[in-house]
Amino acid sequence: MIAVYISFPMKAKVFWQLKNITMFFPGVVALNNVSLDIYKGEILGLVGENGSGKSTLIKCLSGIYQPQKGEFYYQGKPVKISSSMLARKLGVSTVYQEFSLVPTLTVTENIFLGRLMKDKKGFVDWGTMYEKTKSILDTLKIDIDPNKIIYNLSVAEQQLVEIAKGYTANGSLVILDEPTTALTAPDIKRLHELLRRLASTGHTIIYISHRINEVIEVVDRIAVLKNGELAGIANISEITMNGIVKMMSGRHIAEHYPKQCNVQNEVILKVENITTENGVNGVSFEIRKGEVFGLAGLLGSGRTEIARALFGVDKITSGKIYFKGKKVKFNNPRQAIEAGIAYITENRKTDGLFFNLNGPKNSTTAKIKKLFRSNRLRILDLKKECKIYDESNKKLKIEPMSKYKMVGFLSGGNQQKVVVSRWLFSEADFFIMDEPTQGIDIGARLEVYNIINELMAASKSILLISSDYLELISMSDTIGNLKFGRITSIKDAKDVDKKLIINSSV
């Protein structure tokens, strides 16, 4: 592979050097002679499709993996990063995509986990730790109570705490792996402002994200990995978004939002003035057959709460729901599933997957009775299960070994595809998709978008929730904007732009 290299003259001091890093697993070459210079005080974007080697590279730099070949240089001197502890001593602080928070502890306890502060008598100094945590959160402009239990925070709030935890490690090299997966536009903007401040004081940032439009807004340079090799490095001012996408996937950006319009006149879901105990406040809207109805709004606006209410997770205290022309009331998710509703949740880790089961088992749980050899004996037809999963593999391009692996060992993109395969198997008529492309690469996103088009062509309907406003506008037919649990406007997607969504949500 021929790599494209463009110089970085603004910050000439090389901070870290990676030379010929090679890492392989049985039957797989994850990294192949990757060499990369990282400059002091820069924000370096690291992008690539799932399986390109991004996670493996940062795990080598973080001391989790030891490459079979290659060398690391820190400030010009060769170093051996034989453990994560040694990496931290060298100033490497990594915030991973998968949370490392303890859900039963408070924000303060998680921030200071493993390094509790003590007073002169040797007792834990909770007061000082609380004040320091509050100061850190204020600096990062994160409005979260330091005494709040992690379990009671939303996914987006947990992501912010994870970033704050990494920030407190005072690392000179901070690696952020998909830091904005659950964040809304204003939260992303605040994070980017923080990263620029850190870079201006000499901190070096490696920023990993599948959201290319977001990456180009904050990084100084961008490095592209493809099939374990370095496809190219460029100053962000000297390369276009289309050029980055082409380097990553071989496709042009215009191919990545293949929206088709299949909206019919018949209303499949009608919501009248529903209110819940969890923040939904008098919401009304209609969704027609073949329509993608997008929900936009900031963190806490009520997007996910609406989804949970429609799926029977949260209790509706007032209002009415009509589905397929009939008034319905779902007291639990099972009733919603039986009626023909599917729900791809925003957090596949806690709500979407059984991590101790393989791909086929996860894929069929929503309608497992379809696998019974007979309704009387309820014996599962495992051959049929494998055959159905093989069809999903072909359609969604799920990793073939997922047929045998527990899904906890799959990449984020493949995990998300397994979730999607479950609800396709359920043969639902109405799909709730809450952040369906969260943490997956451009190629996998395109496959999800094509599935959306296929569902619409088959007269299915979708409620789409996404913090990626370009995705939301491009793939929706209609967009409802939420603020404080209320829908403030409903417009055709073609009449909405990103700035309008953000401004009307604040």
For residue 292, give both structure tokens. 């993608």
Average pLDDT over residues 109-127: 88
CATH architecture of 257-340+430-506: 3-Layer(aba) Sandwich (3.40)
For residue 337, give both structure tokens. 């599933």
Give 499's pLDDT tier (boundaries 50, 70, 90).
Answer: low
Lowest pLDDT segment from 159-168, 247-256, 305-314, 344-353: 247-256
d(CA 239, CA 219): 12
Asked if the domains 4-91+171-251 and 257-340+430-506 are classified in one and the same CATH topology, the answer is: yes
Predicted structure pTM score: 0.63
* pLDDT for the residue numbered 501: 55
Task: Name the phi and psi angles at 326, rounded to 5.
Answer: -120, 145
d(CA 263, CA 460): 10
Domain boundaries defined on the chain: 4-91+171-251, 102-168, 257-340+430-506, 352-427
Q: What is the pLDDT of residues 51-98, one digit of tens each?
A: 788 889 999 999 999 999 999 999 999 999 999 889 988 989 888 776
Query: Mean pLDDT in the chain?
Result: 83
Lowest pLDDT segment from 99-103, 341-345, 401-405: 401-405
The CATH topology of domain 4-91+171-251 is Rossmann fold (3.40.50)
Question: Alpha carbon 456 to chain centroid distance?
Answer: 24
What would the DSSP string read from start to end of 455-500? Answer: HHHTT-EEEEE-S-HHHHHHH-SEEEEEETTEEEEEEEGGG--HHH
pLDDT at residue 12 above 60? Answer: no
Average pLDDT over residues 389-414: 77
Instruction: Decide if 406 contacts 440 (C-beta within 8 A).
Output: no
Q: Are strands 28-39 and 14-25 parallel, antiparallel or unpaired?
A: antiparallel
